[in-house]
Amino acid sequence: MSIWDDKNGRKHVGIEAGGKRIHRKLPKGATASDAKRVEAELRSAILRMASPTARQLNIPGDPSMSEILAIYVEHSETLRSAETSQHHARRLGPWAAKYKASEAQEFSDHVIRDMSRKVPDTKTKKMKAAYAPATINRSLACAKKGLALAWRRRIIPENYGLRIENVRVDNKREIFLSVAEVRMIAEHCSEQAQAAIWAALLTGARRGELFQIRSEDIGTDTIRLPASHTKTFKTRVIPIIPALRPWLKHFPLAISVDGLKSSWRRARVKARMEHVNFHDLRHSCASIMLGLGVDLYTISKILGHSNVQTTQRYAHLQVDAQRAALDKLSALVQKN
């Protein structure tokens, strides 16, 4: 019998090949059709092996998740941020050794459960999740990619990564700074840090993009961010406005990323705005422009959004401005 169910209801497939027994345990919920498909793939692989031109036996199997992550780590060497990608993948090590590729869903459930557990926050003395949802998702994305690669190489019979669901992320922030508030923070920083702060507000560029600006990228009237230096992998051309020009002499930035983080952290405490993130400068750029009547499409181009739908997160600010204007009209009508 090549297909059978164990006492827990899990389906198994087993066939003989070259005097050896090849056995595959299917994931929970697998159907009889799934088992027959795996059996057919195993037999097909064996037939290919029997061919005079066959070089190696490539039988779909069920490697451990550790092996899957190893495939991803090898693949990550081709990525722009290889070190960061490998860091997110290796974070899954303690769980990967306990599961097979076919148990990807159980593996991800275990990861999410443990990484979402509450731990004491040393700063606030309150309880918080061990890892932020976005961080968990970045690690799970490595596992999903590894599973996809294994499937394409016929190491596993199906792409088990499709069974992994991400943690819901609510990264919508409603913190928008005024120019006066930005100035309050900036005045507590070094000149190099101030250059980064004002450039972030006056261009809408991300922190990582600011650190990629080189002298040759700064023209007479525009700054050109090459596609390789942007999050969306698209070239951006940013107009140089008068308020930005005095700060351009500090580019490329001599301060390090960690140096800017430290300077920003100290400055926001001194300004009594500990809740503000550096990325809020980018959001503030959009909110200030909306307040000045700039349309969402233009703002999306300035921020470098690949889709104007991304800029819709600021639409409520536009509605608020319209409501305030109509409230003035309403008060005038009611008064008369």
Cα Rg for the chain, rounded, in angstroms?
27
State the virtual CA torsion across 47, 51, 55, 61 in degrees, nearest 10: 0
Cis omega (within 30 of 0) for bond into 252: yes
DSSP-derived secondary structure letter, 245: G
Q: Residue 69: is its pLDDT beyond 50?
A: yes
Q: What is the DSSP letter of 307?
A: S
Mean pLDDT of the chain: 84
Name the residue ranges covered by the structural domains of the chain.
3-50, 65-163, 179-324
Lowest pLDDT segment from 20-29, 114-123, 294-303: 20-29
The whole-model pTM stands at 0.55
pLDDT tens-digit map of 294-323: 888 888 888 887 766 667 666 666 666 667
Instruction: Give the CATH fold of the 179-324 domain.
Output: hpI Integrase; Chain A (1.10.443)
Question: Which is it for strands 127-129 and 118-120: parallel, antiparallel or unpaired?
Answer: antiparallel
Reply yes or no on whether the pLDDT at 37 is more than 90. Answer: no
Give pLDDT, residue 54.
Answer: 44
